[in-house]
Amino acid sequence: LDRIKGLLSEAGKAEMDEITNTIILTDTKPYLEKIKLMLTSEDTIEKQTTAQSFTLKYAQANSIGSVVKDLLTLSGKLEVDSSTNSLFITDTRHTLFRTGQLISKLDYFRPSQKLFVLKFVLASEVEETARLYLSDKGKIEVNEEENQVMATATPHNLKKIEDLIADLDTPSKQMKKEKFLIRYISLKDLTEVVKEDLSPQGKLKIDPPSSTLTVEDTSYHLSQIEKMVAKLDTFQPQKKTYEIRFAPLSEVKGKVEDLLSDQGKVDE
């Protein structure tokens, strides 16, 4: 418009209507003829064709591609990139302007929701990574007790989260090893209980001299075993009286104390 105004006389004026993409000119005939020649030269498909990329925040590019295509000229082109959820459009400037307005109206938050019940990976670990795939209005809710994740997101982002979980929630990706120092409960008794909570891929090994239990299993199963060991390996004292008939009491007491747990004691 500034270029056109520069061609008008001092008394001439120009008004633009963006909706209809028209310009209303008021001036003398010689000036109007000069502007007409300029517009005829500039207002061609070849000179006005350009390209623009539109990245969508909420709507799926695939779903609105057909609607957008209806606005294009015969020479216009539309490319859909699902990986970046974007539309790449080549067309005239006016068509791109109208297309941008339409995309702005269509690209609003329409959430979908899905509950993921995890088998091997911890819900808290999924949450940290899944948040990277959310828009500003999406959310992740975690139920650590049931090892579940509830995702509220756009269909495009929800698909990304589904793919993420499918990749992470496998035994091969989640196998870890942990060693537990057992202080109070019998290693044999604890082993029998832990075996029941192992995954099919899980393994355990006991070392009586060091009183340790080594478990190799998935993140989720290890977290459950940690809770179980903490619950079972607690100080539950029993009291028993021994009569020392021949050895010095002080000598026996010292040897017995070496065999006690950190909370055991000898009363004389």
- Tell me the per-residue pLDDT of 124-155, one tens digit each, with 9 for 90 and over: 999 999 999 998 889 999 999 999 999 999 88
SS3 117: strand
What are the two backbone dihedrals, phi and then psi, of residue 50, each rounded to the nearest 5 degrees?
-150, 180
Measured distance CA(231)–CA(164) in Å, rounded: 33
CA 51 – CA 88 distance, rounded (Å):
7
pLDDT of residue 251: 73
What is the reported pLDDT for 165? 96
| Residue 256 pLDDT | 65
Residues 116/163, Cβ–Cβ less than 8 Å: no
Q: Give the residue extent of every domain in the chain.
A: 2-106, 112-169, 174-232
**What would the CATH number be for the domain defined by 174-232?**
3.30.1370.120
Contacts of 207 (CB under 8 A, 6+ apart): 213, 214
pLDDT at 228 exceeding the cut of 60:
yes
CATH for 112-169 is 3.30.1370.120
Fold match between 2-106 and 112-169?
A: yes
State the pTM of this model.
0.60
Across the range 12-20, mean pLDDT stands at 77
Left if phi > 0, otherwise alpha if psi is -120 to 50, otherwise beta: which for 38? alpha
Strands 77-81 and 86-92: antiparallel
- Across the chain, how many H-helices and E-strands are there? 11, 11
Percent of the chain scoring above 90 in pLDDT: 53
Query: What are the contacts of 61-68 at 24+ separation with CB within 8 A?
Result: 61/85, 61/86, 61/87, 61/156, 63/155, 64/103, 64/106, 64/107, 67/102, 67/106, 68/99, 68/102, 68/103
Classified by CATH at the fold level, domain 2-106 comes out as: Ribosomal Protein S8; Chain: A, domain 1 (3.30.1370)
Q: Whole-angstrom Cα distance, residue 135 to residue 157?
A: 8
The average confidence (pLDDT) of the chain is 86
Please check whether residue 15 is in contact with residue 48, taking contact to mean a CB–CB distance below 8 angstroms.
no
pLDDT in tens, 198-218: 999 999 999 999 999 999 999
